[in-house]
Structure 1
Amino acid sequence: MIFDQDGNTSIITQEKATIVELVKRLWGVYSKFKHNNIIVVLTSLDKVRVNDIIEFLEISNKHRGDKHSFVIVSNKIDLDNVPDEIVVVPTIQEAYDIIEMEEMERDLGF
C-alpha cells in the first residue's frame, strides 16, 4: 500500500495486498487521513469484482458521512454493476473531478 498526499487528498495505491487486507489496513491507519478526501487506486489489480468493491462500503459510508470524498479508481469493473452508495471511476483524473464536484456541493450546503 502506497500513500501519497496531494493537497487535502490522500491517494492510496494498492500494490500486493488482497482487497480484504487493504481494507483492514485502511481502518488501521484511518486516523491519519480521516480529514482528507481519499482516492483508492486499484488499477494494478488484474481483476476487480463487485464483491471487492463492496468491501470498501463501510469505510466509504463513514468517510462520506463525515463530509469527505471517498473514490475508488478501477478500470477493470463494469461500473453499471457497482452499488450507487460507493463511487468508482475508471481514471484518477475522474476521481479528482468527482472530488471537485462533491466539494462544490458541500460548499453549497448539499
Structure 2
Amino acid sequence: MKVDQKGHTVTIKDTQGDFNSFLEKVTQQFKTFEKQNIIIDLTADTSLAESDLKLFLPLSKQHKKAKKSFVIVVSDLDFNAISDKLLVVPSLLEAHDIIEMEEIERDLGF
C-alpha cells in the first residue's frame, strides 16, 4: 500500500495486487485519513469486478457524511454497471477534478 498526500487529498494505491488485504488495510487505517479527501487507486489490479468495488461502500458513505470526497480509480471496468452510490472514475486526473468540483459545491453550500 502506497500513500501519497497532496494538499487536502490523500491517494492510496494498491501495490501488492491482493485486493482483500488492501481493503483490510484501508479499513483499519481509515481513521488516519478521515479528515482528508480520499482517492483509492486500483488501476494496477485488472481482475476487479463491480462486486469488489461495492465492498468500499461503507467507507464511502462514512466519508461522505463527514463532508469529504471518496473516489475510486479503476481503469478497466464497465462504468455504467457501477452503483450510483460509489464514485468511480477511469483516471487519477478525473479523480482530482471530481474532488475539486465537490469542494466547490461544499463551499457554495450544496
Once residues 4 and 70 of structure 1 are traced to their aligned partners in structure 2, the CA distance between those partners, rounded to angstroms, is 15
Report how far residue 20 of structure 1 moved.
Answer: 2.5
Q: Percent identity?
A: 39
Give the match for residue 61 of structure 1. Answer: 61
Q: Which residue of 2 aligns with 1:82?
A: 82
Distance 1:99 1:70 in 2: 8
Structure 1 residue 103 corresponds to structure 2 residue 97 = no
CA distance in 1, matches of 2:91, 2:17: 21
What amino acid does structure 2 have at the position aligned with 1:60?
A: S
Task: Using structure 2 for the length normalisation, give the TM-score.
Answer: 0.95
CA RMSD of aligned residues (A): 1.0
TM-fit CA distance, 1:30: 1.2
Could you tell me how far apart the structure 1 residues matched to 2:59 and 2:46 are?
A: 23
Runs of 4+ in 1 over 3 A off after TM superposition: none
Q: Which residue of 1 aligns with 2:9?
A: 9
Is 1:32 the counterpart of 2:32 in the alignment?
Answer: yes
Q: In 1, are the aligned partners of 2:70 and 2:87 still within 8 Å (CA)?
A: yes
Summarize deviations over 1:21-52 as a string: whole Å, max 9, x none: 22221121112111000000001012220001
Gaps of 5+ in 2: none
Mapped contact 1:19–1:55 kept (Cα < 8 A): no
* Alpha-carbon distance between aligned partners in 1 of 2:96 and 2:90, rounded to the nearest angstrom: 11
1:57-93 Cα distance to aligned partner (Å, 9 max, x none): 0001100111000000011111001000000000000
Cα distance, 1:18 vs structure 2 = 2.7
How far the C-alpha of 1:17 sits from its partner, in A, is 4.7
Q: Any idea what SS the aligned residue of 1:68 has?
A: coil
Which deviates more from structure 2 when the two are superposed, residues 8-17 or residues 87-96? 8-17
Q: Secondary structure at the match of 1:100?
A: helix
